Amino acid sequence: MRLGIELVPQTAFFQNLRSELSSRDWDILRRQVYAAAGNKCEVCGGRGRRHPVEAHEVWDYDEDNAVQRLVRLEALCPDCHMVKHFGLAQIQGRENKARAHLAKVNSWGKKQVDDHIREAFETWHRRSDIHWKLDIAWLAAKNITPLK
């Protein structure tokens, strides 16, 4: 599986699965994801030191209908998770580490990394002009009910 940047649109900040669930239900879901992945990263097979893996929400963005739809959760090592949220990595001063991990996992050179980052931010800018409706119907298959 290729590693890629998935920037959450600015207008969808804080609109996520974790904010829609009780702590108990979030813990149940993430632990299921970790176990299904054997507590290894689904992208690179690695593990973090402090946390072997972290739960990452995979979203589909229907720009025509302004719907942000949850597709699944995946187990990622902290380094792959940092790449997914590259904008946050930049804010936290971890851009170089994220760039290096992206290049290593995908066997990319500097130009490929730079092109991917540019494309990710172009998508982010376009999507940040849209006010998204959250679709978390995926939870029904897991027998979990959102708080709201």
| pLDDT tens, position by position, 5-24 | 999 999 888 777 888 898 99
> For residue 147, what pLDDT band results from cuts at 50, 70 and 90?
confident
Residue 75 has pLDDT above 90, yes or no: yes
| Residues 136 and 71: beta-carbon distance below 8 Å | no
User: Between the CA of residue 77 and those of 39, 54, 64, 90, 141, what are the distances in Å?
Assistant: 9, 6, 33, 18, 25
pLDDT at residue number 19: 82
Angle at alpha carbon of residue 98, lines to 47 and 50, rounded to 5°: 30
Rounded Cα gap, residues 17 and 73, in angstroms:
10
Give the mean pLDDT of 37-46.
Answer: 98
Question: Residue 127 — very low, low, confident or very high, per pLDDT cuts 50/70/90?
Answer: very high
Is the confidence at residue 120, as pLDDT, over 80?
yes
pLDDT average, residue stretch 46-51: 95
Mean pLDDT of 34-60: 96
Residue 148 is predicted with a pLDDT of 64
Average pLDDT estimate for 122-146: 90
Rounded mean pLDDT of the chain? 94
